[in-house]
């Protein structure tokens, strides 16, 4: 069963200016982006964003979310204004993730750590997180470190993405010493080769490739951009970008996560929580079957908002109650 942590609001479109709720309550309570974007603040952080801010059909300040340049500049402004990131950039056609949804993953995982730690969120560099598929954008390590002072190891199979992520680390003093990058040589592996002997992580996180093929990714992009523009788009632009390994893989997210679960058995003592995002609810039954086959001690699903849709985090652990208590005493005290 999914644990519903969301309050969902609905709004009807109108040709006149809308009345907005005070907060976007679909987002986590600690998410810094529950209020509507303050473009005055964001432009002050990134002057280039100004030329992309216009009034939409409802009389609100906004950007064209189908424009990849505008989306990237919005991210730069958010990361600088809210998270003290002075330099941030990504190569053309690489994934440019929406920051509010990514922040929710971090905050919900902080809650999960607190649930097994007397309702206290463990903070500081002693909390180690493995980000599988960190990408060129480095967003999860940025958010996790700046919000909770956690330390991260980010992995990826793309050398260009890793080079860009390292440049972001090198040009931001707040990230130096907090994030380590490791290149995964085998694209079929998520964990092997990335966790060193004797190394322990408090949790892993992963945003797996969703689509099973390039064609499916393009169809989804066409639907997304058509919805944003309110008209049919024949040749879509990937407004959030994405390379093959970021958007699609053989078997899509279901097969990727099943492989991830299988590999996690090799590292059952190396991690408290293994976690992943899951987009399609219809895949849950198959994943829970795989988790039972892996003989996990505990598994659960946490609902969260991802933009205009509902996503979910799937968590599992191999640690017994006694092992969990020993872990907390060693790492979180």
Domain membership flag for residue 12 = no
The 8-class DSSP code of residue 26 comes to T
How confident is the model at residue 333, as a pLDDT?
74
CB contact at 8 A, 178 and 145? yes
Asked if residue 184 has pLDDT above 90, the reply is: yes
- Residue 3 forms part of a structural domain: no
Range 302-313 average pLDDT? 80
- Residue 217 has a pLDDT of 46
Residues 146-161 have a mean pLDDT of 97
Instruction: Give the span between the Cα atoms of 171 and 48, in whole angstroms.
Output: 20
The pLDDT score that the predictor gives to residue 93 is 85
1 band by pLDDT with thresholds 50, 70 and 90: very low
Assess whether pLDDT exceeds 80 at residue 265. yes
* pLDDT tens sequence across 85-105: 999 999 988 988 999 999 999
Instruction: Enumerate long-range contacts of 229-237, CB under 8 Å, 24 or more apart.
Output: 229/66, 233/66, 237/66, 237/67, 237/68
- Residue 15 pLDDT: 43
- Give yes or no for a contact between 306 and 253, defined as CB atoms under 8 angstroms apart: no
Which CATH number does the domain housing residue 142 bear?
A: 3.40.50.150
pLDDT over 50 at 133, yes or no = yes
Angle subtended at Cα 238 by Cα 232 and Cα 240, rounded to the nearest 5 degrees = 125
Longest CA–CA span in the chain (Å) reads 61
pLDDT value at 273 more than 50: yes
Q: Tell me what pLDDT residue 57 has.
A: 82
Which range of residues forms the domain containing residue 97? 92-331
User: Is the residue at 46 inside a domain?
Assistant: no
25 located within any domain:
no
Domain total in the chain = 1
pLDDT at 59: 85
Chain centroid to CA 231: how far?
29
Instruction: For residue 249, name the pLDDT band (cuts at 50, 70, 90).
Output: low
Comparing 247 with 202, the larger pLDDT belongs to 202
Question: Which pLDDT belongs to residue 58?
Answer: 81
State pLDDT tens for residues 286-304: 999 999 999 999 999 999 8
pLDDT of residue 232: 52
Residue 278 placed within a domain: yes
Percent of the chain with pLDDT over 90: 71
What pLDDT score does 56 carry? 85
Q: Is residue 254 part of a domain?
A: yes
Tell whether the model's pLDDT for residue 151 goes beyond 50.
yes
Q: Please state the rounded mean pLDDT for residues 124-133.
A: 97
Range 209-229 average pLDDT = 52
Closest CA to 157 of 105, 206, 107: 206
Q: Identify the band that residue 216 occupies on the pLDDT scale cut at 50, 70 and 90.
A: low
Burial classification of residue 3, based on how many CB atoms lie within 10 Å of its CB (0-12 exposed, 13-18 middle, 19 or more buried): exposed
Among 229-233, 256-260, 302-306, name the one with the lowest average pLDDT. 229-233
> Which H/E stretch holds residue 168?
helix 159-170
What's the mean pLDDT in 78-82?
Answer: 98
pLDDT band at 9 (very low <50, low <70, confident <90, very high): very low
Check: CB of residue 121 under 8 Å from CB of residue 115: no
42 within some domain: no
The mean pLDDT of the chain is 86
Q: What is the pLDDT of residue 19?
A: 60
Q: Output the pLDDT for position 172.
A: 98
pLDDT at 263 over 60: yes
Burial class from Cβ neighbours inside 10 Å (0-12, 13-18, 19+) for residue 92 reads exposed
Span 115-136, mean pLDDT? Answer: 96
Q: What's residue 252's pLDDT?
A: 79
**Is 56 a domain residue?**
no
């Amino acid at each position: 069963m999914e644990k519903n942590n969301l309050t969902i609001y609905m709004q009807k479109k109108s040709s006149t200016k809308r009345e907005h709720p005070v907060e976007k309550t679909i987002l986590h309570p600690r998410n810094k982006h529950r209020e509507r974007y303050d473009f005055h603040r964001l432009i002050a952080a990134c002057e280039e964003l100004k030329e992309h801010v216009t009034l939409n059909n409802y009389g609100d300040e906004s950007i064209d979310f189908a424009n990849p340049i505008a989306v990237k500049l919005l991210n730069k402004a958010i990361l600088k204004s809210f998270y003290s990131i002075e330099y941030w950039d990504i190569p053309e056609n690489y994934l440019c993730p929406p920051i509010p949804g990514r922040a929710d993953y971090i905050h919900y995982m902080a809650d999960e750590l607190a649930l097994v730690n007397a309702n206290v969120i463990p903070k500081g560099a002693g909390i180690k997180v493995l980000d599988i598929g960190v990408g060129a954008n480095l967003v999860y390590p940025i958010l996790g470190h700046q919000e909770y002072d956690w330390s991260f190891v980010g992995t990826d199979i793309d050398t260009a993405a890793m080079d860009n992520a390292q440049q972001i680390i090198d040009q931001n003093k707040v990230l130096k010493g907090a994030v380590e990058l490791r290149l995964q040589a085998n694209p079929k592996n998520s964990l092997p080769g990335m966790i060193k002997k004797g190394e322990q992580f408090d949790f892993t996180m992963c945003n797996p490739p969703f689509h099973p093929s390039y064609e499916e990714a393009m169809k989804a992009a066409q639907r997304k951009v058509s919805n944003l523009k309110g008209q049919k788009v024949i040749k879509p632009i990937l407004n959030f970008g994405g390379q093959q390994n970021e958007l699609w893989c053989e078997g899509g997210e279901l097969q990727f996560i099943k492989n991830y679960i299988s590999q996690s058995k090799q590292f059952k003592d190396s991690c408290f929580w293994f976690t992943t995002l899951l987009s399609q609810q219809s895949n849950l039954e198959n994943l829970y079957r795989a988790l039972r086959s892996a003989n996990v001690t505990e598994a659960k699903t946490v609902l969260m908002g991802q933009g205009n849709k509902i996503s979910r985090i799937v968590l599992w652990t191999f640690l017994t109650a006694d092992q969990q208590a020993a872990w907390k005493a060693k790492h979180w005290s």
